[in-house]
Amino acid sequence: MIKDPSRRRFIKGALTSIPAVTIGSGVSLTASADEPPEQLSDYQPVFFNESEWEFVIAACDRLIPGDGPGPGALETNVPIFIDRQMEGRFGHAADWYMKGPFPENVPALFGHQIALTPRDMYRQAIPAINDYCQRQYDQSFAALDNATRDEVLTVLSQGDVEMEAMRGSYFFDMLLQNTKEGYFADPIHGGNKHMASWKFIGFPGARASYREWVDQHNVEYPLGPVSLNGERG
């Protein structure tokens, strides 16, 4: 039973901004035959270097904290999801139109509007954010306390962290979207460990016997979720 309705509403609201294929299938994501480790601390990044990895872990922890009734980003291995995506088709923008022109100040609803791939965005943005933190606080982002991390992420979301090839807000939107995707995607992609976020919101996952529940509103779903690899919650 969820004791904090406001947190549950927030999580469900975040879910609506993610494409359905991200949640229920591997169509838009990079699946790997290698199973990620159970513990985030045991994982060896395949794309991020040490300082980048520290930033991703610290940022994900603030975007979906683990101090509420539901699971946090670190409990659900969201950073593993993001790292694995950087080495896949998403990270390389393999399926995106990446030719110019690249006009400035175009709303994101018109699609990707810069020449950088997602992996290039992370690689350029994280050092810029750490440089900002060093100038302002004499520490890297990962070394800051939680309240100060939140301040930095707020400044970043407002576009006030200087970056050479993109707006800070553009990267923040990418980081937040990837964090939500890792939180809600099928565990086969590295995040949502043991379908914890699905259990939290009552999502059935890839269960094939959900049809009779589609029209039943405000009724708690009695069965746990099922992942694409057959794991049952």
pLDDT tens digits for 201-226?
Answer: 888 888 777 778 788 888 887 878 88
User: Which one is predicted more confidently, 203 or 84?
Assistant: 84
Average pLDDT over every residue of 52-58: 98
pLDDT tens digits for 113-136?
Answer: 788 999 999 999 999 999 999 999
DSSP for the chain reads --S-HHHHHHHHHHHTTS-HHHHH-STTS---SSPPPSSGGG---SS--HHHHHHHHHHHHHHS-SSSSS--TTTTTHHHHHHHHHTSTTTTTTTS---S---SS--GGG---SS--HHHHHHHHHHHHHHHHHHHHSS-GGGS-HHHHHHHHHHHHTT-S--SSS-HHHHHHHHHHHHHHHHHS-GGGS-SGGGHHHHHHT--BT-S--GGGTT--S----S--B-TTS-B-
Q: Sketch the domain layout of the chain as residue ranges.
A: 5-213
Average pLDDT over every residue of 5-13: 53
User: Which one is predicted more confidently, 42 or 108?
Assistant: 42
Query: For residue 22, is pLDDT > 50?
Result: no
The residue among 189, 202, 190 whose CA lies nearest residue 233 is 202
The reported pTM is 0.81
8 Å CB contact between 192 and 74: no
Residue 73 identity: A
Among the listed ranges 185-189, 198-202, 209-213, which one has the minimum average pLDDT value?
209-213
pLDDT tens digits for 142-180?
Answer: 999 999 999 999 999 999 998 988 889 999 999 999 999
pLDDT band at residue 7, thresholds of 50, 70 and 90? low
Confidence (pLDDT) at 123:
97
> pLDDT averaged over the chain?
84
Per-residue burial over 30-39, b = 16 or more CB atoms within 10 Å of its CB, e = otherwise: bbeeeebeee
Confidence (pLDDT) at 33:
47
DSSP for 76-141 reads TTHHHHHHHHHTSTTTTTTTS---S---SS--GGG---SS--HHHHHHHHHHHHHHHHHHHHSS-G
Confidence (pLDDT) at 3:
47
Query: For residue 28, is pLDDT > 50?
Result: no
Helix axes 168-184, 78-86, angle to 10 degrees: 110
- Cα–Cα distances in angstroms (integers) from residue 36 to residues 46, 80, 183, in the given order: 11, 8, 15
Confidence (pLDDT) at 26:
35
Query: For residue 140, is pLDDT > 70?
Result: yes
Query: For residue 77, is pLDDT > 90?
Result: yes
Average pLDDT over every residue of 187-193: 91
Rounded to 5°, the CA angle 129-135-141 comes to 40
